[in-house]
Structure 1
């Protein structure tokens, strides 16, 4: 997540583009600064969390944060990660 993300997203919005933040549960800066994610979503960004993250396949910390994002209405899409299904096949 670049330090200029807010400016970048603002410029995208001006052009009519809605940014989608994929895997926010894996971005250290957002884990450490969840207020930034809230601000980005409040300003129109959408988020996509991986189902495997919610299930805990990527660890307890990511699961906890993923569930917090869902419960806080900061998740708009839950992805299957089907492009990498072999890694998570045991969790389904």
Structure 2
């Protein structure tokens, strides 16, 4: 039996949270998504949040979080999300899936 969410070009927040985020501008692994910020007025995802790495106590400090705008996401693949943090253009809303 197919999962009710299992349709072409559909991802759940659980799917996104299991994908590693990699910054292509620096070739650096950023980690995994901890939260998604949704713009209720525009009805779309505004950004993703990645917690700080390598410091247990930093989990409680929001200032160390990495927030990546949706426009900085370049590709959402099968098991990885490629972002370009050097890109500041917020108007790039093309399809990001493979």
TM-score, scaled relative to structure 2: 0.26
Higher strand share: 2
Higher helix share: 1
